Amino acid sequence: NAGVMQNPRHLVRRRGQEARLRCSPMKGHSHVYWYRQLPEEGLKFMVYLQKENIIDESGMPKERFSAEFPKEGPSILRIQQVVRGDSAAYFCASSLAAATEAFFGQGTRLTVV
Amino acid sequence: GQQVMQIPQYQHVQEGEDFTTYCNSSTTLSNIQWYKQRPGGHPVFLIQLVKSGEVKKQKRLTFQFGEAKKNSSLHITATQTTDVGTYFCAGEIAGANSKLTFGKGITLSVRP
């Protein structure tokens, strides 16, 4: 049973481009969380999805950021028109049920140049 | 604002010393989880506590959930260099869409 898979592991984008971060949850997991982490800082909640539904997006900026978790395929975190301040590590986690043990992917490290 | 708090953010200990850190919430938690993130790595689940006053042990690590379910502690006995990393607590705040709210973590360094 493969763990949570995130790709790409590293992503470099120029300012103004779009960044697409993918997360394949563990098999059987229908709950997906996205977190952002800056160096030397904690995990900041962005969005919580449960198959095709956004349950809580209170941590996600209203502009430029969007997330989806389609019926088929990975969850996608999309950042449009990236700015330097978007540079961070973005972690995805999945769980079997709400607020149970969360399994994290290895993260996507986004660098905006 | 931040509802799950971990203070301080950094702690340095001498190898062999004991280490205790705390996690506090302004609201009642349905459950609390602890994770460890090694430098350059990703958070890895350590334990989940659900019951008021619950205590769980994993080798040299002891986790406790407060009676009021608003705080938790992690105690490491006789720290080793392998204990280095950032320890996060994460709480499910009752009624908050069942999302996990993470504290900022405490980064432990161990002097050999």
Span B61-99, pLDDT tens digits: 999 999 999 999 999 999 999 999 999 999 887 665 667
Q: How confident is the model at residue A39 (pLDDT cuts 50, 70, 90)?
A: confident
Residues in contact with A4: Cβ distance below 8 Å, sequence separation at least 6, in sequence order: A23, A24, A25, A26, A92, A93, A94, A103, A104, A105
Tokens 């941590």, residue located: A59
Closest Cα in chain A, distance from residue B87 (Å):
10
Is pLDDT at B2 greater than 60 in this prediction?
Answer: no
Over the stretch A56-105, which tens digit does the pLDDT of each residue have? 998 999 999 999 999 889 999 999 999 999 999 999 999 998 878 899 99
Q: What is the mean pLDDT of residues A34-40?
A: 89
Preferred mutation among B5, B100, B106, B107 to probe A, highest tally of A CBs within 10 A: B100
Nearest chain A residue (CA) to B10: A40
Q: Give the 3-state secondary structure of residue B36.
A: strand
Smallest Cβ distance to B98: which of A35, A98, A106?
A98
Q: Tell me the average pLDDT of chain A.
A: 93
- The H-or-E segment that residue B73 falls in is strand B71-76
Q: What is the mean pLDDT of residues B31-40?
A: 94
Q: How confident is the model at residue A42 (pLDDT cuts 50, 70, 90)?
A: confident
Q: What is the mean pLDDT of residues B46-68?
A: 96
Q: Give the 3-state secondary structure of residue A85.
A: helix
Nearest chain A residue (CA) to B47: A101
| pLDDT score, position B97 | 63
Smallest Cβ distance to B43: which of A99, A100, A104?
A104
Nearest chain B residue (CA) to A45: B101
Which chain B residues touch A56 with a CB distance below 8 Å?
96-97, 99
